[in-house]
Amino acid sequence: MSRLQVVSGKGGTGKTTVAAALALALATEGKRTLLVEVEGRQGIAQLFETEPLPYEERKIAVAPGGGEVFALAIDPELALLDYLQMFYKLGSAGRALKKLGAIDFATTIAPGLRDVLLTGKACEAVRRKDKAGRFVYDHVVMDAPPTGRVTRFLNVNDEVAGLARIGPIHHQAQSVMGVLKSPQTQVHLVTLLEEMPVQETADGVAELHAADLPTGRVIVNMVRPPLLDDDGLRLAGSRPRASVAGSLAAAGLGGARRGGAAERLVDPLLRQAEEYAERHTLERRQRKALDAIGLPTAELPLLTDGVDLAGLYELAALLRTRGMS
């Protein structure tokens, strides 16, 4: 499994939930995982039912087997201070720049700079080693921007390296792209079995391939359980009123006489069955579209009670059984 796992997806597909579950899945058998948030929404803190994350790496969960999950919400301004200290040793001068508002000004007039800082901080965590020469984190999972802009977000350092052809900025950008375009990285895209998310996923994969960024899996989230088998689907399309009324009566749900309880249940049940059959057909079509993308897929179920901390561990266990650990 690659050491940097980037998770993206169309808004509403549950990409933050999948990123959090993946971090838990990877933190098995004593491993350490860092879960990185780059959009400032504090979605990770909400999922793990903890206080808002500061700009520091904080342990937020223990995985089965004793592994640990740390989390970091990257603040672009503070990341820029780190950058200035790392390459220019500005120290207190960098802090003075922050007080003057120069850092906020710089990240506003140069939006690409923000993405350089965010990706750079995540890649630094991937490369970081302790005094014994071992990686501090076995895996870093990034809850990345949505599919529509993830390629530009990840590829921004390529543009920077081209603009700044010498000096520390050039070398830093090259170093980041050395991680992002290597086998150390996989970009996973989260989707639903719906037309718009699937199309955006296909477009996103094409953009990632065009930019030579390494793709991982398509993760199909919130999959509904099957309610009817093939015979049931055929019956739903044929509207066999008399047969359904007889079956209901035989099951003790009212007499078979005209206007009885069993007959009154027939139309609502058939409408629900037809709606399910239509959705099943649409979902089958979207699965074929996902197959055409050519990436391996993993499916996660819809948790009917919502995603709480217990649900997050449940999803993590499912990702492990699907080979994502």
Tell which residue, 177, 173, 175, has the closest CA to residue 164.
173
pLDDT at 152 over 80: yes
Q: Would you state the pLDDT for residue 109?
A: 47
Tell me which of 14 and 110 has the higher pLDDT: 14
Q: Would you state the pLDDT for residue 175?
A: 84
pLDDT at 59 over 60: yes
Q: Average the pLDDT over 40-60 and give the result.
A: 91
Q: Would you state the pLDDT for residue 41?
A: 86
Same domain? 120 vs 189: yes
Q: Is residue 165 part of a domain?
A: yes
Same domain? 160 vs 261: no
Tell which residue, 159, 284, 151, 140, has the closest CA to residue 205.
151
Same domain? 166 vs 45: yes
Instruction: Give me the domain span that covers residue 250.
Output: 230-277
pLDDT at 148 over 50: yes
Same domain? 81 vs 14: yes
Q: Is residue 146 part of a domain?
A: yes
> Mean pLDDT across the chain, nearest whole number?
83
pLDDT at 325 over 90: no
pLDDT tier at 274, thresholds 50, 70, 90: confident
Q: Is residue 294 part of a domain?
A: no
pLDDT tier at 250, thresholds 50, 70, 90: low
pLDDT tier at 18, thresholds 50, 70, 90: very high
Same domain? 60 vs 142: yes
Q: Would you state the pLDDT for residue 83?
A: 67
Report how far residue 74's alpha carbon sits from residue 97's, in angstroms, rounded to the nearest whole number: 19
Q: Average the pLDDT over 239-249 and give the result.
A: 62
Tell me what percent of the residues of the chain surpass a pLDDT of 90: 52
Q: What is the pLDDT of residues 309-321, one digit of tens each?
A: 999 999 999 999 9
**Domains of the chain: total:** 2
Q: Would you state the pLDDT for residue 253?
A: 59
Q: Is residue 245 part of a domain?
A: yes
Q: Is residue 283 part of a domain?
A: no
Window from 55-64, 113-122, 206-215, 229-238 with minimum mean pLDDT: 229-238
Q: Is residue 150 part of a domain?
A: yes
Q: Average the pLDDT over 259-270 and give the result.
A: 64
pLDDT at 244 over 80: no
Same domain? 47 vs 187: yes
Q: Is residue 287 part of a domain?
A: no
pLDDT tier at 298, thresholds 50, 70, 90: very high
Q: Is residue 290 part of a domain?
A: no
The structure's pTM equals: 0.84
Q: Would you state the pLDDT for residue 101?
A: 57
Q: Average the pLDDT over 203-227 and give the result.
A: 94
Same domain? 246 vs 138: no
Q: Average the pLDDT over 215-238 and give the result.
A: 79
Q: Which residues is 36 bridged to in the sheet?
A: 72, 142
Q: Would you state the pLDDT for residue 22?
A: 97
Same domain? 203 vs 98: yes
pLDDT tier at 199, thresholds 50, 70, 90: very high
Same domain? 153 vs 252: no
Same domain? 161 vs 244: no
What's the CATH number where 118 sits? 3.40.50.300
Q: Average the pLDDT over 202-209 and give the result.
A: 97
Report how far residue 258's alpha carbon sits from residue 255's, in angstroms, rounded to the nearest whole number: 9
Q: What is the pLDDT of residues 116-134, one digit of tens each?
A: 888 988 999 999 999 999 9
Same domain? 220 vs 234: no
Q: Average the pLDDT over 17-25 and give the result.
A: 97
Cβ partners under 8 Å of residue 6, min gap 6: 141, 142, 144, 150, 154, 185, 186, 187, 188
Same domain? 156 vs 264: no
